[in-house]
Structure 1
Amino acid sequence: MSGPAPLGPLAARIVVGLLIAIGLSVVIGAVALWPSQEKADIPLPFQNATGGAVTTEAGHVRSSGAADCGSPSTGAVLTAPPIAAPAGGGECVQSLVAIDSGPNEGANTLLEFSGGPGQPHLAVGDNIRISRQVDQNGSTTYSFYDFERTWPLVALATVFAVVVVAVARWRGLRAMIGIVVAFAVLVVFLLPALRDGAPAVPVSLVAAAVILYAVIYLAHGVSLRTSAALLGTLASLLLAAVLSWAAIELAHLTGLSEDQNNEVAAYMGNVSITGLLLAGFIIGSLGVLNDVTVTQASTAFELAEHGASRTAVFVGAMRVGRDHIASTVYTLVLAYAGSALPLLLLFSVANRSLGDVLTSESVAIEVARSAVGGIALALSVPLTTGIAAVLATPSGGPAAPADSRHTPT
């Protein structure tokens, strides 16, 4: 081996300069697109009787059983046993619920359900959330809102964090911090900006770039290795944005086949549904792109540290990348297919042809999402591998650094 080409140090300066320039552009974009922070009107389904936000309280089920429908005690604040309904009104399921928070804590209320599809099935001891409505006359009524899931979710999240940190140690802890940062960016910047009607592509790209800078450097440290992965991910993300826009335009995807999008269109008229769909495509591609590019950069640098030439580094890392593409692409497709299983089940009993099913918008969105993610994923492998092969200085050469894994950017 004749030693590293002089391209290595020059490439490092170019990559660092590009990442700094992109970072500054992202900051400028975030400032220009920063949401107005104006309060939006609460959509009608989420309003209480006075136009404010729905208030929920804690409750638990004291008893549940069949009874005649139409009890006058349904939804009322009860300090005495509920009044039975007149006979002949049909049979319903009635649940006596203790109110555990709010101004009526210690009282009870009665919830009544028809028992049909989509109705909750409450058992004694179930912890639930009940919505509290106060009308213009000051009368308070309660209704079922949802099951209480705080502690089960906290337990799952805690076990998840403990396992990740126990296995990955400090890197796992930094990854957990990165997840918090990612959700903060979505909640503080992306969603309010889309709510204000800002253009979806620049907003999504700025948000995604902020997440990538934070997540990659937090989880994997600041080095030429992670800088190669970051630049490859940013380039692939831009490609994914272009592909997403083209897929939505060419396939005439409106997003209105999804109930949540219809509610957004009905109650938040300034929000672009196709823009929201596009933002979902872009943000959804982040995780898989990050996974692949970090793996490719790490593989290239490891091969370089074992004395491989730049050509050998690229060829060897591409072998790993091909295996990664093969395994990740079908993982990506199956993940989207899994999310669409209820819809596919309905189509399976509707006696519709396979062509009709695949070209219906609900399925076409998942097909397009899978295709966009797969294309961006496949192209991110040679792109990131090439960047990393140029940056990774083969060991043993006159210009090799002491440890390229810790070369600061």
Structure 2
Amino acid sequence: MTEHHHHHDHSGPIAIGANAARVVVGLLTVIGAVVLLGAVLLWPSNQHIDIPLPMQNAGGGAVQTEAGTVVMQDVGPCGSASNGKVFVEKPDVPRNSPYTCQRSLVDIESGPHKGNKTLFELPPGPGQPDLHAGDKIRVVRQADPSGTPMYSFEDYSRGMPLLLIVAVFVVVVVVVARWRGLRALIGLIFAFAVLVMFLLPALLDGKPAIPVALVAGALILYAVLYLAHGVNLRTSSALLGTLTSMLVAAGLSWVAIKMTHLTGLSEEQNTNVATYIEHVSITGLLLAGFIIGSLGVLNDVTITQASAAFELAAIDESATRREVFTAAMRVGRDHIASTVYTLVLAYAGGALPLLMLFSVAGRSIRDVLTGDAVAIEIARSSVGGIALALSVPLTTAIAVVLAKPFGRRDHTDPPRRPRHARN
């Protein structure tokens, strides 16, 4: 007499029905083709856009910056004729002046005046930089109406510190997550390239914001998910759930902005865009920001739900689809709770300076919360939270169907009592 022995390997994604696989692969292939077609149709033209006035130099061109180092710093009378000008050794002695300034002697370390010096006289006050000898800075190079080269303080030089921080980030991610971490970083670079090369130029070109944001978001999701998590049905279920949730977020964003009449003009950057790049819709920028901003948190939740559903189905192949869905949803509810906190607190953290200004303005809490600036953050958090909550059951259902497709019986194992084969 012999007994039937069953061995299951759960080291990778479990096998699923061929029909379910074909449906998912077919859907994602069709969506991918539509996304690529949309990218072709919405690809920005090469039209020239004038540099906005605040960003021009005296000649109407782009502002040029050079590297510099503060070699001396003191406080003394203002009014030196060398202020902002190029000289070789020492600045001119200032005239007798009742006003005092912070005076910074700066070595110019790049550009046509490399090796020379300039002087900055900065009156004390809020918003003025507090320079010290040894500070690495960026200086603006331009010319006055007579053609004399002039320099002014632009910002601190942060290239090397930022490079070190990014290098540590890359090393830690690769050491801990290894090849998957490296692939995730490659996906991050791709996402940045999509934003810089497609999304922003297309919006500048006057293309409709929602289709542009959806195409850009889909391109990012295809690359990031498959690079970081591999090409398999577990990742495909998360991708399908994320794409669907992104559509939901786009619709909710449009409704929220229309209902609340958000303008975005409470933010200085948006006002500058509206003033100097008139053909760009501020509402469109808000919409695109809502949609792209929701991708990160949606991706996090959907990949977790897909993994949970596949692992639960693999651990107990005798479990029904309802049991797997219910168990995965318990994980999802905990994830929703923690991620909603993350979402709201992240937006609140970014709005802290604004909230502080309102807190000392003596305005009522109702006026503060319904003002354009704070209302944008509330609407963005709410849209992200709704899309996040809906993505959990949606992705879980897709993953359960893939892990235990309808073409297969819920109980794949034979009856638990061993059946003896006839001799």
2:223 pairs with 1:226: no
Deviations for 1:150-176, whole angstroms, at most 9, x for unmatched residues? Answer: 011111111001101111111000000
2:200 pairs with 1:183: no
Question: The residue matched to 1:285 in structure 2 has which SS?
Answer: helix
| AA of the residue aligned to 1:357 | V
2:370 pairs with 1:359: yes
Residue of structure 1 in register with 2:338 after alignment = 327
Would you say the 8 A contact 2:320–2:411 is kept in 1?
Answer: no
Return 5+ residue gaps in structure 1 as ranges: 1-6, 400-409
Would you say the 8 A contact 1:65–1:93 is kept in 2?
Answer: yes
Between the aligned partners of 2:251 and 2:179, the Cα distance in structure 1 is 36
2:112 pairs with 1:97: no
Residue of structure 1 in register with 2:152 after alignment = 143
Return the offset for 1:351: 1.0
2:170 pairs with 1:170: no
Question: Equivalent pairs: percent with the same residue?
Answer: 66
Query: Quick check: which has more Rg, 1 or 2?
Result: 2
Would you say the 8 A contact 1:63–1:123 is kept in 2?
Answer: yes
2:391 pairs with 1:375: no
Residue of structure 2 in register with 1:194 after alignment = 203
Choose from 380, 385, 389 the match for 2:396: 385
Would you say the 8 A contact 1:75–1:142 is kept in 2?
Answer: yes
Residue of structure 1 in register with 2:293 after alignment = 284
Residue of structure 2 in register with 1:316 after alignment = 327
| AA of the residue aligned to 2:324 | V
Quick check: 127-136 or 206-215, which moved more? 127-136
Return the offset for 1:95: 0.4
Return the offset for 1:29: 0.4
2:74 pairs with 1:65: yes
2:176 pairs with 1:159: no
Residue of structure 2 in register with 1:301 after alignment = 310
| AA of the residue aligned to 1:80 | E
Question: The residue matched to 2:166 in structure 1 has which SS?
Answer: helix
Between the aligned partners of 2:98 and 2:238, the Cα distance in structure 1 is 66
Between the aligned partners of 1:11 and 1:135, the Cα distance in structure 2 is 70
Would you say the 8 A contact 2:141–2:152 is kept in 1?
Answer: yes
Deviations for 1:322-341, whole angstroms, at most 9, x for unmatched residues? Answer: 00000000111000000000
Residue of structure 1 in register with 2:274 after alignment = 265
Question: The residue matched to 2:289 in structure 1 has which SS?
Answer: helix
Between the aligned partners of 1:182 and 1:37, the Cα distance in structure 2 is 21
Between the aligned partners of 2:121 and 2:359, the Cα distance in structure 1 is 34
Between the aligned partners of 2:84 and 2:216, the Cα distance in structure 1 is 43
Choose from 126, 140, 155 the match for 2:135: 126
Residue of structure 2 in register with 1:405 after alignment = none
Choose from 44, 47, 55 the match for 1:46: 55
2:106 pairs with 1:110: no
Question: The residue matched to 1:255 in structure 2 has which SS?
Answer: coil
Choose from 250, 258, 261 the match for 1:252: 261
Would you say the 8 A contact 1:8–1:390 is kept in 2?
Answer: no
Quick check: 73-82 or 367-376, which moved more? 73-82
Between the aligned partners of 2:93 and 2:351, the Cα distance in structure 1 is 44
Between the aligned partners of 2:174 and 2:336, the Cα distance in structure 1 is 27
Would you say the 8 A contact 1:61–1:97 is kept in 2?
Answer: yes
Would you say the 8 A contact 2:321–2:410 is kept in 1?
Answer: no
Between the aligned partners of 2:98 and 2:66, the Cα distance in structure 1 is 30
Return the offset for 1:8: 4.6
Between the aligned partners of 1:62 and 1:97, the Cα distance in structure 2 is 6
Quick check: 7-16 or 153-162, which moved more? 7-16
Question: The residue matched to 2:155 in structure 1 has which SS?
Answer: strand
- TM-score normalised by structure 2 residue count: 0.91
1:26-37 map, 5 Å: 26-37=35-46
- TM-score normalised by structure 1 residue count: 0.94
